[in-house]
Chains A and B, each alone.
Chain A
């Protein structure tokens, strides 16, 4: 029997998104538990999917039993089962954390918020499971449209930021759609597996080349790869806390997944690496992204905006791994999809918690924060160390594989970029840590004259996810060897 879990992962949040509208009108208090229920079921289904893939290999699921290449097919192999679990887990954790901050920030929009929130998650999950180029476009648009809406309900600058994102996002989506169109013209198929069979004969066709270029640019826009990142900092800064915590870890990662899929499954690695220098260009863009992201992050006083720029550079890491186009580089890229999701989740949740308690996120105003919110700040430190790449946090291990990949490829500039960005991240995070933990004094007097500052930790529904993310960062670091040998090893395209 064909397992139903790949479909359930997507369908459950989709159905509940609409049920919430109905039930929410009846009882507003139901929205939160329903969301959590839907997300947990979806998460369990994704775990089941991963388990099936690990034991029985790739799953092919024909929607409505229409066989490909005519019907829509869901194909789940190691790569997307892995990303699927990440997406559903992160959404679940963000869902849990949303309770109090949504009540605080959006008191009269709770019903709509959760509806769109679930649609957003549906979009992400759909992008990941589908094996059909056009179906992917549909989910990409669901995710993007939900994203525009979610961002727009944020604070003062949000509508404008969202509008900005809307323009860029639409251009990206159009490019992607054009790519799909061109491929359809030249091959008559939309199914990824089918396309990968037909395309090799057409690699020298101009139409296919143009399609590939459209894909690359479109997806780069969606994943905010430098220099196409301009929409991101504003959008993620002004969005409501919960929304930033959902979009920052996932939107970019899903984009990265699509990029890997298109470059190495739909097209052959041989095409993307050798026939046209796509990976080389990508590598240099990524190197630019890494440096540009951290350097601009240095200039920010607003903690959330700083994180948004760090995200730009983290996207660079993933793209760099893809650009290196060797086994270690890709392992690093795929591992970083996981690691960075947790890092960004932890960081954006922490900012949300800080804002929830102190209504400010200016870095200089973080003073005494370690006494007000000891656990939250501890998680922040762990996540910060992970971004820097201090072992045994998970960020170190992504860096390990990326550096290894860069050395294998003899790309010394990339090695230097990776290492220098670590050092810049040290400045970034220790600046925050200094502000939050140290209490500068003119003259050293010993103890005694301490200000009494009461502990004012975030509410439990917000603190638990933060701690989960923090612990996850440490755990994933130590377990990274296992994760790679059981999942990622098979997720890296076979020919590398």
Chain B
């Protein structure tokens, strides 16, 4: 494998960190300048990430070593296909979220906006660090930074509920962090190395019992952020956060970082061969499919729109983990691609929830009757996102689910095909009533029958993400060979088998 040494991954991480400092020192007094930094930095970051696509598509990895952390392990970035995929996804969505955030916090006249944008920028730095981390320790460092910098965002409203939500978030994620630390140290003690390798590096080290134990605690602890049941409880609680936070952090950055961690563990630390040998893949797949089904049922029962979306997120994250656990080419491609397609669709849905809240202060599904007449663009985007999540062609959710379904057949486990189908049916069951009610039911209270949307800063982003989900569904390779990156990653991982 050819290696390109370049400082670009470090720049991609640092640019937001510097942005965060600019934001905090600019402060509330020059809010336009502060928002300018956010936008500038997000665009810069995206272009830096994009500039690495061509290397990675040629099968090369971009490497940059910063400093030795401990013997044999450095603070090191190594951008491979999978990392780049996540990096492109997160940095692209940050641009739209930034624009949306500005509309949202100004529309609601939020307090502590500087703190909000500051932490947002730190989160993105950390996410990029997670995406580009070349070894487990580097990943863990950024993972913890992400945890801590998200806490002020969750507790942003500073009401009693918000503070409790923040505490719960910390309790779950930092406990998981401690367990991850233990597992990483343990792996280091066994192997003396922590570098990710497509196909895993643990094969041939340690006894099967030790490895099984490590796998279980690693999946459970990364599974906290990925909201695998029964460790998901913090996520619906954290929905108390402002909507853009829920959107980016709970549909893209934080939970996806958890899923990303799980996938790194499954595919790059343990690897298909070892998991087949230990027979753990099937156990994990069943474990994840339990979450898929149960979270779908939970979602049906939620009246609060954001909570319903939260459970739908849990459902989709579990699908990603389940897919990667099947360890077949299509399944892995499908799960990696589902990270992106779910990201675009779910962020659209969260944006919609936020736009409705800013415009009408409504939060519950039962209050949305007829709202489509007032906000047709918003609800139209909602319809696209919701159908995509259910797997309707030609929206990108279809592509990923197709590959996941193929993957379960390749693995000769029809059970998971049924799990996917049932979950799709449940998606329909909890999303379509919303679409129907908002467009066709007559409103309970007076709704402005004319076009009366939230501010354009919010509508444009959500329309853009909805359109991207459509385009990705028709041309999966439309943006920078997006789909190819995922399939090359899957090939690399399975190359050894």
Which residues of A approach B to under 8 Å, CB–CB?
A: 385, 388-392, 396-397, 399-401, 403-404, 407-408, 415, 419, 422-423, 426, 430, 434, 437-444, 446-448, 450, 478-482, 484-485
Contacts and interface: CB of A to CB of B under 8 A. Distances in A.
Given A423-B178, A482-B67, A450 B111 contact: yes
Interface of B: 66-71, 74-75, 108-113, 140-141, 144-145, 147-148, 151-152, 155, 157-160, 162-163, 166-167, 170-171, 174-175, 177-179, 181-182, 185-186, 188-189
Contacts of B109: 446-448
Contacts of A400: 70, 181, 185
B157 A444 contact: yes
A12 B475 CA distance: 75
Given A430-B151, A448-B109, 17 more contacts: A388-B174, A390-B144, A391-B141, A403-B181, A403-B182, A407-B189, A415-B182, A422-B174, A434-B155, A434-B167, A441-B158, A441-B159, A442-B160, A446-B110, A447-B113, A478-B67, A481-B75
Nearest to A421: B178
B122 to A, nearest CB: 12
A484 B71 CA distance: 9
Closest 9 CB pairs of A and B: A481-B68, A447-B111, A391-B141, A481-B69, A403-B185, A447-B109, A419-B178, A407-B189, A444-B157
A400 B69 CA distance: 11
Nearest to B147: A390
User: Is chain B's interface secondary structure helix, strand, loop, or mixed overall?
Assistant: helix
A422 B144 CA distance: 13
Contacts of B147: 390
A327 to B, nearest CB: 10
Contacts of A401: 70
11 contacts: A390-B147, A392-B145, A399-B181, A441-B159, A444-B157, A446-B109, A446-B111, A447-B109, A447-B113, A448-B111, A481-B75
A447 B110 contact: yes
B70 A423 contact: no
A276 B377 CA distance: 78
A47 B5 CA distance: 35
Contacts of A479: 67
Contacts, number: 101
Nearest to B184: A400
A443 B159 contact: yes
B61 to A, nearest CB: 22
Contacts of A478: 66-67, 75
A481 B473 CA distance: 46
A441 B66 CA distance: 44
B163 A408 contact: no
Nearest to A408: B189
A392 B13 CA distance: 14
B111 A407 contact: no
Nearest to A426: B174
A478 B111 CA distance: 34
A444 B165 CA distance: 14
A404 B144 contact: no
A437 B148 CA distance: 14
B69 A480 contact: yes
B70 A437 contact: no
Contact of A404 (B141, B166, B170, B185): B185
B180 to A, nearest CB: 11
Contact of A481 (B74, B186, B189): B74
Nearest to B189: A407
B75 to A, nearest CB: 7
B170 A484 contact: no
A437 B152 CA distance: 9
A430 B109 CA distance: 27
A242 B217 CA distance: 45
Given A392-B141, A437-B152, A442 B189 contact: no
Contact of B68 (A390, A444, A447, A485): A485
A388 B163 CA distance: 20
A426 B140 CA distance: 17
A407 B185 contact: yes
A385 B148 contact: yes
A396 B189 CA distance: 17
A381 to B, nearest CB: 9
B140 A391 contact: yes
B108 A442 contact: no
B385 to A, nearest CB: 27
A434 B163 contact: yes
Contact of A440 (B70, B145, B160): B160
Nearest to A390: B144
